[in-house]
Structure 1
């Protein structure tokens, strides 16, 4: 005999549901302040129905922003489990029921604001793909390449992650379904188009193999725009997903910046770029991993950082120093993230921008920061390189924002040919000057960083 079925239809707002209760042959209205509260009311009604009937009932839920569709079985003892698949009516009764697809294979998403869409969003869709990258011949000086060989680039057109078929991967960990799984021991899969599935696809992209050693540069000649905290957080995100010993973040300011003060584990005196270059003067000679590690400072997410020049204002990092550092790091790491200073005329700044596989430009919603970024990008556009085709502008929110800045800035960037503008939510820890760690960032920020890291990897690897 088929189990009684209680049907529940949730409205789009996720706060009201209409439930048909078979024992009463009546329809009830259920409400909750949140979708999670509403589901609690649904299960309370389902438990009462199972106890009243003295048998297992089926609960079929439809609608809702995050919860439905789902089919569950509720026992009189309040046990809840996903409903078993029914064998087709025409099949013999002895035939085994079809097996569910195994769980696993997709990384567990840990960085998403519950119930919210990640707040990195495309502001500048590209109508036409940017031109193919112009090959730039590598100049050799002092025995090593100053400019790595060019690689094909993809047109960056958005932050929408690839679709993943529903039912694949691990049970939901986020949103209402994630909370139900955690509280009730269920194995509900995320909805196919949910933020969690998009983040899982983004994480899968981030772990893609890179074609070669890559440089990611954070640049904006205006100070105080968030280059360093974004560089640290992006490094942490990449290392968290790609694994330890894969990413190094280096302070390439000509006289050193605040990188060493913003990381979770601060480097000891002498662990800086000049010390590494002095210890390994010939970048064409192999360096042992243990020797390299002595000059890097490992962070909790698995990334390494190296401080810039400290305590010696009489000399500065120049182009040769930056190229020398990259050649050493490239022997044992996949990615170098360059946190630049505020002087576009500095040799280390020019190397970091010209050599970058991706240039990330943080722009707060302030006129001075937007003007500085626009002037920098205009100057880059006048060069013979294809740097604009690999530039991502990140508009960051904060107290005292001037909203009209965003519209004017986006229009100016559109005219210049920047292919992608993304938006990040306000992160209080970025603005506080405190040490940064992924675990301390807001869920919205961590989700946005994952989507940004996805676009960075897409730019490096191509379509």
Structure 2
């Protein structure tokens, strides 16, 4: 078995004894990450596991790294000199090591924790007391948590190594895990006081309601409860109430909210508002449309949609508007023209792609700014025609809108209630990226 020694000189620099190779940890990585990658490459070159002795401040840890990246704690197979002997120096803690037994535990690759034990078996301070330098500011405050590469990997090969061996390897910067972390950070970022996200396509049955529900769930999951409300703005009530986890009770709909007793200021008290909304497990609220069945029932118009938004703006951050199929209705026109971000679901069928493209062409002449805040979601589903994809994507890109892809989700296609923990992992990840893109559109200036 090939053997070599690595000495950690600083928090981001290490040296390979005998070869002169110097390992420098790049930004976002620890020196342990660099030692692990170097050791794996040595194992690949040798075609067999390598044994690395990692020294730091006179302390040594033996780790065996296989060509496939598997790392495990090991005992040395041969005499490996300590780093202090190589330099002709005496270890600084030599006297202490002969006086007290020391227990050694593996904390991470090349990183060790020493704890001296007294005669009672209880732990004692690992080093002699040193003079404490007085600081003008207390150092006892909890350290801030910086998302990204500072957090160990949870998925992929590195995540499995961390879980099995207790390592703390960071995810690769280009990994899916890092992209999802960046998306989550974007979702939780600051946005304007009140924003409207409109999900629209004049063709029915293309998945507007599932996308609206999933988007509201994702935003609320990251931004917190009572920050998002999803409303059915169809002229005549749509299917929102039939797709959410917890259906609304009788009377919990837009018209019930609009006719509620208003305070003198024209604002609803939070307690009154809460009686007309239906809280979902992810923390978002929904307000259903009104299914009128008589001639006296009127559909939701532009003024009704604007009044709803005015009420919600005092209590929520984001309105996700699920629209109907009639572009001539007042509620549809309000939702599309007032959208801070427009989301257009498009299955790979010509009868779904053509109306969506025609809708955006009309907006390009009347409300050009809307296209700058539009994202098209290509969804997979039964009956898709792959031959349509290239033409569809090219047509939307030619309009200057963003195009994202979403994998097939049986819960969306089956018409069932959308329970977050029943969604596929690929669906949850896709919704996270879509939500981050939408927040980018909302915060875009100009």
CA 214–19 in structure 1, closer or farther in 2 if over 3 Å, else same: same
The answer to whether the Cα contact below 8 Å between 1:255 and 1:313 also exists between their aligned partners in 2 is: no
Determine which of 390, 408, 415 is the counterpart of 1:426: 408
Number of residue pairs aligned between Structure 1 and Structure 2: 357
Task: Report the secondary structure of 1:379's partner residue.
Answer: helix
Q: Provide the TM-score with structure 1 as the length reference.
A: 0.69
Task: Describe how 1:254-403 pairs up with structure 2 within 5 A.
Answer: 254-280=235-261, 285-312=266-293, 314=295, 315-403=298-386
Question: Counterpart in 1 of 2:160?
Answer: 179
Contact 2:240 2:288 in 1 (8 A): yes
In structure 2, which of residues 188, 195, 210 is the aligned counterpart of residue 229 of structure 1?
Answer: 210
Residue deviations 1:176-199 (CA, integer Å, cap 9, x gap): 222332333332222222221221
Separation in 2 of the partners of 1:17 and 1:316? 72
SS at match of 1:248: strand
Separation in 1, partners of 2:51, 2:343? 56
Pick which of 347-356 and 435-444 moved more.
Answer: 435-444
CA 1:441–1:282: 2 relative to 1, 3 Å: same
Match of 2:438 among 441, 448, 456: 456
Displacement of 1:401 in angstroms is 1.9
For residues 177 and 108 of structure 2, the distance between their equivalents in structure 1, rounded to whole angstroms, comes to 22
Asked if 2 retains the 8 angstrom alpha-carbon contact of 1:223 and 1:342, the reply is yes
Q: Return the alpha-carbon distance in structure 2 between the equivalents of residues 56 and 378 of structure 1.
A: 74
- Structure 2-normalised TM-score? 0.71
Give, in whole Å, the separation in 2 of the partners of 1:262 and 1:333.
22
Distance 2:81 2:325 in 1: 67
1:9 equivalent in alignment to 2:37: no
8 Å Cα contact 2:376-2:404 kept in structure 1 = yes
Name the SS of the counterpart of 1:181 in structure 2: helix
Instruction: Name which one, 1 or 2, has greater alpha-carbon Rg.
Output: 2
Q: CA, structure 1 residues 22+327, in 2 after alignment: closer, same or farther (shift >3 Å)?
A: closer
CA distance in 1, matches of 2:426, 2:223: 21
Q: Per-residue displacement from partner, 1:244-289 (whole Å, max 9, x unpaired)?
A: 1110000011111111111111111111001001114689612111
Q: Do 2:180 and 2:433's aligned partners in 1 also have CA atoms closer than 8 Å?
A: yes
Map 1:82-161 onto structure 2 (within 5 A). 82-84=109-111, 105-106=145-146
2:75 is aligned, of 41, 44, 50, to: 50
**What is residue 17 of structure 2 aligned with on the other side?**
none
Contact 1:233–1:437 (CA<8 Å) still a contact in 2?
no
Q: State how far apart, in whole Å, the 1-side matches of 2:306 and 2:201 are.
A: 20
Structure 2 Cα separation of the partners of residues 320 and 17 of structure 1? 73
Which residue of structure 1 lines up, in the alignment, with residue 389 of structure 2? 406
- In 2, Cα distance between equivalents of 1:198 and 1:330: 31
Distance 1:21 1:378, change over 3 A: same
Contact 2:337-2:367 at 8 Å conserved across structures = no
Does the C-alpha gap of structure 1 residues 54 and 442 become closer, same or farther in structure 2, counting only changes over 3 Å?
farther
Q: Relative to structure 2, which stretch is displaced further, 275-284 or 221-230?
A: 275-284
The reply on whether 1:81 has 2:121 as its aligned counterpart is no
Residues in 1 aligned to 2:292 and 2:301: alpha-carbon distance in whole angstroms: 16
* 2:325 match: secondary structure: coil
CA shift digits 1:148-171 (9 cap, x unpaired): xxxxxxxxxxxxxxxx5x4x2x22
Equivalence for 2:194 = 213
SS at the partner of 1:386? helix
User: Does structure 1 conserve the Cα–Cα contact (< 8 Å) formed by 2:40 and 2:65?
Assistant: no
Q: Tell me: CA distance 1:280–1:406, structure 2 relative to 1, closer, same or farther (3 Å).
A: farther
Q: Could you say if the C-alpha distance between residues 338 and 313 of structure 1 is closer, same or farther in structure 2, counting changes exceeding 3 Å?
A: farther
| Deviation, structure 1 residue 106 | 4.3
Specify the SS of the correspondent of 1:402. coil
For the 8 Å contact 2:346–2:352, the answer to whether it is kept is yes
After superposing the two structures, state which structure 1 stretch, 435-444 or 301-310, moved more. Answer: 435-444
TM-superposed CA distance for 1:336, in Å, is 0.4
Quick check: 2:39–2:52 contact (8 Å CA) kept in 1? no
* Structure ranking higher on relative contact order (CA contacts 8 Å, 6+ apart): 1
Gap regions ≥5 residues in structure 2:
7-35, 54-63, 83-102, 113-127, 131-141
Q: Conserved in 2, the CA contact under 8 Å of 1:206 and 1:242?
A: yes
In 2: Cα distance, 1:231 partner to 1:256 partner: 15
Mapped partners of 1:195, 1:390: distance in 2: 25
CA distance in 2 between partners of 1:301 and 1:436 (Å): 11
For structure 1, list consecutive stretches of 5 or more residues without a partner in the other structure.
32-37, 58-75, 86-93, 97-101, 108-163
Correspondence for 2:96: none
